[in-house]
Amino acid sequence: MQYMLMIVGDAELAAKAHAEDMKNLMGAFIAYTRAMKEAGVMVAGDPLQPISTATTVRVRDGKTQVLDGPFAESKEQLGGYYVIDVPDLDTALEWAARCPGAAYGAIEVRPVMTDFRDRA
């Protein structure tokens, strides 16, 4: 079963982090990603560009609205994701707990509706 691990954290905190701290954190993410690949569970995953690069699209009454910035007005923002293929939710939660982002934010774990692709 596939699960998405969404890395949610305080965007302001990340922007204020010292270069050495960011270097250490990126090293931890590289090691985590490598462990997932070696275990054969990683399907996909990438960090996202800063929220200042976000664009939000809405369609209301048939008209497209394009807005600069993220959809949510929140301190916590989606910073990256992993899609993993594991036997069950417990295994997905174990991988989520190992994610370096769990130490400073949260990891939201959600099942992926893979059967949807087959219907499209």
Q: Could you read off the pLDDT tens digit of each residue along the chain, which spans 120 residues?
A: 999 999 998 877 766 777 888 888 899 999 999 999 999 999 999 999 888 888 989 999 999 999 887 666 667 788 999 999 999 999 999 999 999 999 989 999 999 998 887 777
Q: Give CB contacts under 8 A, 24+ apart, made by 86-91.
A: 86/1, 86/3, 86/41, 87/1, 88/1, 89/1, 89/3, 91/41
Question: pTM above 0.75?
Answer: yes
User: CATH number of the domain that 114 lies in?
Assistant: 3.30.70.1060
Count of structural domains within the chain: 1
Q: Which residue range(s) make up the domain with 82?
A: 2-119
